[in-house]
Amino acid sequence: MTVVWESVGSSVEKDILVPGKFSKKPTERSRCRVRIEDVNSSGLSDNPETQHSDYIKPSSTEELTITVGDADCRVDEYVERAIQTMFTGEQSLVRVKLDDTVCLSLKIKLLACEVHVPIWEWSAKEKYDVALYYKEAGVRLYKSSRIVDAFSKFSKACKILISLEPIPESDIEDSLRNDIEHLRRILYNNMAECHLTRKNFEHTVSLCYKVLQRDENNVKALYRLAVARENQGDYERALADMEKVIGLQPKNQAAKERLIIYRRKVYEAQKKYDNMVKKMFHVRE
């Protein structure tokens, strides 16, 4: 059987079994009625990334109503990606590869679709509302310790807001412009927290900088930046960042405790350096 569509990176492949009638394909926020059946999986049930799937039920042949963009885990995102390539009435065999040990195949039939206008036609207000909706979904996932899935939601929301740039001064009201900028700072901060939790310290630093470029006194970004630098062994800069936190929030107990550690580390490093210099330049008479 010939593969008729393949995603970038070959994570998703699709073979058309029954062609659909020519129609507009599903876009972001489109409501789709689908039937998913004949699910065959390898390593699916034991993989934590796939246990939360709302779309993949191995024994089910029931119809589902899916709103594109609502996927809360990676396997469901891949299912949505395949659906977005389909015409109404089409049935396809879809193969999804999550990693070297987890792969599945399933049949998807797109029964009906209420196609939403493409994202480039959305108003600034609609983009803000959808981004806020995705952000709130990400927060729920983060509170459930689903860090990777939460990051995906925050990232999707951020990309929608980035698509607004540049915004001409006359296009939107100041209140909406401020809301968009505030939400963007929150999203960068939340993504930084996800990376920090996953010990991706370089990415944490990069995202904290994005926040601080917009708000140099953002306490959360300064604190996360300091912790990331601590874990990179850069105690001098971690100390400087945490001192800024204390300057903005003198009663921040967590910051005070870390500040003590950083000062001790910097003192020890300086003392070690001074001793090394003395040995290097010690002259024996």
248 pLDDT exceeds 90? yes
Same structural domain, 137 and 264: yes
Average pLDDT (243-253) is 96
* pLDDT tens-place string over residues 12-45: 999 999 999 999 999 999 999 999 998 887 655 5
208 pLDDT exceeds 90? yes
Average pLDDT (205-226) is 97
Of the pLDDT bands very low, low, confident and very high (cuts 50, 70, 90), residue 102 is: low
Same structural domain, 72 and 139: no
Q: Do 92 and 82 contact (CB within 8 A), yes or no? A: yes
Of the pLDDT bands very low, low, confident and very high (cuts 50, 70, 90), residue 165 is: confident
Same structural domain, 10 and 77: yes
Cβ burial of 199 (10 Å; 0-12, 13-18, 19+) is exposed
Domain boundary among 65, 90, 119: 119
Of the pLDDT bands very low, low, confident and very high (cuts 50, 70, 90), residue 5 is: low
Q: CA-CA distance, 46 to 75, in Å (whole number)? A: 14
- Domains identified in the chain, total number: 2
CATH code: domain of residue 99: 3.10.50.40
Of the pLDDT bands very low, low, confident and very high (cuts 50, 70, 90), residue 285 is: very low
Average pLDDT (189-212) is 97
Q: Is residue 188 part of a domain?
A: yes
> What local confidence, expressed as pLDDT, does residue 97 receive?
85
* pLDDT tens-place string over residues 120-160: 999 999 999 999 999 999 999 999 999 999 999 999 999 99
Same structural domain, 85 and 177: no
Same structural domain, 78 and 207: no
Q: Is residue 55 part of a domain?
A: yes
State which residues form the domain around 46: 5-119
> pTM (2 decimals)?
0.89
Q: Is residue 231 part of a domain?
A: yes
Same structural domain, 252 and 238: yes
Same structural domain, 36 and 171: no
Same structural domain, 10 and 61: yes
Least confident of 65-69, 149-153, 165-169, 216-220: 165-169
Same structural domain, 244 and 127: yes
Q: Is residue 147 part of a domain?
A: yes
46 pLDDT exceeds 70? no
Q: Do 228 and 198 contact (CB within 8 A), yes or no? A: no
Q: Is residue 280 part of a domain?
A: no
Same structural domain, 226 and 246: yes
Q: Is residue 173 part of a domain?
A: yes
**CA dihedral of residues 15, 18, 22, 28 (deg, nearest 10):** -50
Helix ranges (H only) for the chain are: 74-83, 124-143, 147-162, 174-197, 201-214, 219-231, 235-248, 253-280
284 pLDDT exceeds 60? no
Q: Is residue 126 part of a domain?
A: yes
Q: Is residue 284 part of a domain?
A: no
Same structural domain, 17 and 110: yes
CATH code: domain of residue 259: 1.25.40.10
Nearest C-alpha neighbor of 53 from the set 80, 31, 71: 71
Same structural domain, 86 and 169: no
Q: CA-CA distance, 88 to 110, in Å (whole number)? A: 5
From residue 122, give the alpha-carbon distance in Å to each of 28, 68, 129, 130: 11, 15, 11, 10
Q: Do 56 and 104 contact (CB within 8 A), yes or no? A: yes
273 pLDDT exceeds 80? no
CA 129-135-140 angle, to 5 degrees, is 130
